[in-house]
Amino acid sequence: MSPALFAPAAEIRQVEPAALETTAQDCLTQGMRFLCAWHDWEDDLCVLRYLLSRPGNRQFLLLELRGHRQLPSLARSVPLLGWYEREMQELGGVTFTDHPEPYPLVIHEGYRIDSPPLGPEAESGQMHGAYAPPTMPELRNDQVQDLYWGPVRADFVETGEFHFSYIGEAILHYHPRLFYKHRGLEKRFVGLRPEQAVFLAERVSGVGSVCHALAYCQAVEAAWGIEVPTRAQLLRVILAELERLYNHFHYFGLLAKTTTLKVASAEGLLLEERVKQLNGRLSGSRFLRSLLCVGGLRRDIAAEHLGRELEPLIYEADAYLQALHSTASHLDRLMGTGVLPRQAAFDQGATGPVARASGLDRDLRRDHPYAAYGKLRFNVPVREKGDAMARAEVRAESLREAFALIVQAAGRLKAGPIRTEFTVPVGEQAGLGWTESPRGSLLYAVRIRDGRLQRVKIKSPSFSNWRVFPLTVHDTNMMDYAINEASFGLTIAGCDR
Amino acid sequence: MPFWTWAGIKAGRASTQWPARGPDGQEGVLGMPRWQPEACQNDCQRCAESCPTQAIQRRGENIVIDYARCIVCQSCVESCPEGALQSSGDWAFAVRRREDLQWQAAVESEDGRMLQQKIAQSLRRSLHIKHVDAGSCNGCESEIAALDNPFYNLHRLGIFFTPSPRFADLLLVTGPVTTTMRDPLLATWEAMPEPRLVLAVGTCAVSGAPMDAGYAGGTGLDGLLPVDVWLPGCPPNPAALIHALLLLLARQPQRVQGGRYVD
């Protein structure tokens, strides 16, 4: 068990609990950003890890605390860590003292697990219990109404329970209760052979199949020191950007639906369908599943002429986005809606288009290049206003950039191997993998011993953005809620895992 | 707004006429792998070893295939040295009896249990669906949402989604039924008027695979609700969903019997 696990992707710094608070403060002063935190039981030793990115530095910083299962909470000075700490507390057998949000997160009121599934014991109990409403802040006023919306909602949306306290149109307080879809995926990975578990990463979040599988594969490749051939690197970029395309078209289809533009909504969803059909022809799967593997790709795909094939779609997408951008009724509903200030976005951990729309210029593809992104040119759109309009603009531009990236990558494809053969090493290894998914930063941390997964941490972008989203709902009005939610483009499956 | 009306008229019709005629939109999309036992070597177990969800198992001398657990990952196809398992476009895998997802050497001549005459007649043309996500990965929701896009345009078949279980004929369930979704799912079922039907969508909802080994994930709808049609697939594509809905209404025939796909 070497303390140098996770090098060289990150510089590792050992910290004692007493120095944790001051170290965190120092990091923030130097402009660093906390990305995620996770715990691991290495045999009987509890190890806590905080991952940070440093401005202008491709190498991450990893703060490590070894041998403590009770730690001071950092959530007061680094609010975004609040959810990570609560999750570790409920599932990992770690406790955080003086936590400012001592409420259940993953395991709802009314449910329990007898021994923590990601704790020191190998065998975990089953979750059991019965539905109970969550405890909400008490608002004393005879005009206040409470709306419990979910977990089963209208249409065909994902499961989540949303609680509104409101007077007339004005929302006083909003609280989402998620994790109905918690499937215990991090535990599900444990014991599997790393090269066989890609299928599971693909099923964490269906519409993020490629980015999840890619981050996972890269984490295992980092742990085992596998270099992926150039052709596979380029094809991985193409797959990831195709995923971005259909996700962003879906986003505009839904956004236009909330601003009551039926035709514009249909057009967006039709463009999404056309990308999915293209995915099917290209790969056999509309979600581009069953292609990525540790070491490269399972089979080659003929993407050389993808640029030409996409040409009509590029023109249509451009006309579509321009038409949306010149529809006054649409823009009116987006401007000034659901404002997320820059400081709140930073403190609470917003990521992806949501963060970039609030002035945070961060993109893992550019700041910590992976696959073939380091060799390709693309812009990272940023806006300052932080409203629904800014979020839609960032999405629109990154949709155009996705086309540009696919055309570039396809143009550079040369015949060559698509997979590196490797032998599974004995002993202990660990690796980090990351991707900039359509919704933001996605991280996998894996630890492997003798060819079996011991711990897999999944940090999905929606886990970050769901924490941020309620801040833009408090003190707004009911009419704007659906527009605001659509402008965030959240999924629940990835958050809940 | 007038611009979008004009744009819509100008764009014209985007909907396919499938299944009456026209494309189903699934060109190249892979379905469940097909098994040709003649080509199979008796002493080889590679397909069973490669299957991440134990859809293929070895029982004594025989290979047993349960498509209820298949997530369409194609690993068995890649692992088979004899080509006995082949990739196929067999995705219209909806069946009325879950047993029909298990590969059988001899197909029973029984035509499958038809829906009760009363239900079939009362629901023959139109159908209102209540959807419940019981812990899916959102892949199924993405494909269900696609039914609403102009290409599939589900309304043309007289099938609609309804927000309330009170107005629903069919409960469409995705996901393995996580521990916390069990109560809300059963409450939704209780709220539906009779006659009521259940469609299990996706491999998770059919068998729980690949989530069933978890501390919070369930094992699908088996034993929980009376399922009328089982549709495995990971996720089933929109055309497979339409086929399953039409099978439910007895407007399309079942394609799979004894785990075998009939073209």
Q: Do A268 and A167 belong together in one domain?
A: no
Would you list the DSSP string of A324-387?
HHT-HHHHHHHTTSS---HHHHHHHT--THHHHHTT----HHHHS--TTGGGS-------SS-S
Name the band, by pLDDT with cuts 50, 70 and 90, for residue A3: low
User: For residues A462 and B251, which has the higher predicted lDDT (pLDDT)?
Assistant: A462
CA distance A432 to A443: 7
Residues of chain B neighbouring A180 (CB-CB closer than 8 A): 135, 178, 180-181, 184
Q: Is the pLDDT of residue B218 over 50?
A: yes
Is it the case that residue B46 has pLDDT exceeding 90?
no
Strands B85-86 and A10-14 come out as unpaired
Residue A71 near residue A19 (C-beta atoms within 8 A) = no
Q: Of A470-484, B60-74, B76-90, B116-130, where does mean pLDDT reach its minimum?
A: B116-130
Same domain as A374, residue A313: yes
Q: What distance in Å separates the CA atoms of residue B64 and residue B259, rounded to the nearest whole number?
A: 10
B 170-189 residues with CB below 8 A of A? 175-176, 178-181, 183-185, 187-188
CATH of the domain at A70: 3.30.460.80
Chain A segment 398-417 residues within 8 A of B by beta carbon are none
Interchain CB contact of A277 with B (< 8 Å): yes
Note whether A204 and A457 are within 8 A (CB).
no
Residues 6 or more apart whose Cβ sits within 8 Å of residue A45: A1, A66, A67
Is B57 inside any structural domain? Answer: no
C-beta of residue B152 within 8 angstroms of C-beta of residue B23: no
Read off the pLDDT band of B109 (50, 70, 90). Answer: very low
Q: Are B73 and B52 in contact (CB under 8 A)?
A: yes
Mutate to test the interface with B, among A112, A190, A203 (most CBs of B within 10 A): A203
pLDDT at A99 (0 to 100): 92
Together in a domain, A29 and A170: no
Q: Answer whether B183 sits within 8 Å of A180, measured CB to CB.
A: no
Same domain, A313 and A211: yes
Residue pair B192/B131 in contact by the 8 Å Cβ criterion = no
Query: Hey, what amino acid is at B253?
Result: P
Is residue B111 in a domain? Answer: no
Q: Are residues A221 and A76 in the same domain?
A: no
The stretch A303-318 carries a mean pLDDT of 93
Full domain range(s) for residue B165: 117-253
Contact A167, B172 (CB under 8 A): no
| Residue at B133 is within a domain | yes
Portion 438-497 of A in contact with B at CB < 8 A: 491-494, 496
CATH (domain of A254)? 1.10.645.10
B115 pLDDT tier (thresholds 50, 70, 90): very low
Residues of A in contact with B11 (CB under 8 A): 263, 267
CB B51 within 8 A of CB B16: no
The mean pLDDT value for B85-104 works out to: 87
What average pLDDT does the segment B185-198 reach? 93
Q: Are strands A440-449 and A452-459 parallel, antiparallel or unpaired?
A: antiparallel
Flag whether residue B146 sits within 8 Å of chain A, measured between CB atoms: yes
What pLDDT, on a 0 to 100 scale, did the predictor assign at position B124? 61
Q: What is the pLDDT of residues A209-219, one digit of tens each?
A: 999 999 999 99
- Closest chain B residue to A259, measured at CA: B1
Task: Look at residue B39 in the predicted model and tell me its pLDDT.
Answer: 82
- Mean predicted confidence (pLDDT) in A294-317: 93
pLDDT confidence bin for A443, thresholds 50/70/90:
very high
Q: Looking at the structure, tell me whether residues A258 and A388 fall in a common domain.
A: yes
Q: Could you report the per-residue pLDDT of A154-196, keeping only the tens digit for each?
A: 888 999 999 998 988 999 889 999 999 999 999 999 999 999 9
Question: Within a domain: residue B89?
Answer: no
Chain A residues whose beta carbon lies within 8 Å of the beta carbon of residue B25:
273, 277
Note which residues in 77-136 of chain B have CB less than 8 A from chain A. 78, 87, 131-136
**Cβ pairs A/B, distance under 8 A:** 209
Indicate if A412 and A326 belong to the same structural domain: yes
Residue B168 lies in a domain: yes
Pick from A1-5, A358-362, B61-65 the range whose average pLDDT is largest: A358-362
Q: Which of A8-12, A75-79, A242-246 has the highest mean pLDDT?
A: A242-246
On whether residue B191 sits in a domain, the answer given is yes
Check if B15 contacts A (Cβ < 8 Å).
Answer: no
Q: What is the pLDDT of residue B1?
A: 66
Give a yes or no: residue A497 inside a domain: no
List the one residue out of B31, B62, B37 whose CA is nearest residue B256. B31
Give tens-digit pLDDT for A383-425.
Answer: 999 999 999 999 999 999 999 999 999 999 999 999 999 999 9
Confidence category of residue B121, pLDDT binned at 50, 70, 90:
low
pLDDT at B106: 55
Q: Is the pLDDT of residue B174 over 90?
A: yes
Which of B:228-247 have CB within 8 Å of A?
A: 234-235, 237
Please count the structural domains in chain A.
3
B5: contact with A, CB 8 A cutoff: yes
**ipTM exceeds 0.90, yes or no:** yes
Count: domains in chain B: 1
Domain hosting residue A106, numbered range:
10-129
The string of DSSP letters for B124-176 reads: SS-EEEEEEESS--SHHHHHHHHTTSTTT-GGGGTEEE-S-GGG-SEEEEES-
User: What is the rounded average pLDDT for all residues in chain A?
Assistant: 93
Asked if the model's pLDDT at residue A140 lies above 90, the reply is no
- List the structure tokens of B160: 């609609």
DSSP letters of A233-260? HHHHHHHHHHHHHHHHHHHHHHHHHHTT
- Domain membership of residue B27 (yes or no) is no
Is residue A348 very low, low, confident or very high in pLDDT (cuts 50, 70, 90)? very high
Same domain, A40 and A125: yes
Q: What is the pLDDT of residue A150?
A: 82
CATH number of the domain encompassing residue B177? 3.40.50.12280
Residues A235 and A325 in one domain: yes
Distance from CA of B109 to the nearest CA of A (A): 33
Interface contact A188-B214, CB threshold 8 A: yes
> Which residue has tokens 């533009």?
A261
pLDDT (tens digit, 9 = 90+) per residue, A48-70?
Answer: 999 999 998 999 999 999 999 99
pLDDT at residue number A145: 86
CB A414 within 8 A of CB A231: yes
When the pLDDT of each residue in chain B is averaged and rounded to a whole number, the result is: 87
φ, ψ of residue B9 to 5 degrees: the values are -65, -40
Phi, psi of A374 (to 5 degrees): -65, -20
> What residues 214-273 of chain A have any CB closer than 8 A to a CB of chain B?
250, 253, 261-264, 266-267, 269-270, 272-273
The whole-angstrom separation of Cα A176 and Cα A7 is 37
Amino acid letter at B249?
Answer: L
Residue B188 placed within a domain:
yes
Q: Identify the CA nearest to A211 among candidates A236, A184, A183.
A: A236
pLDDT digits (tens, 9 = 90+) for A425-438: 999 999 999 999 99
Which two three-digit tokens encode residue B99? Answer: 């047993």
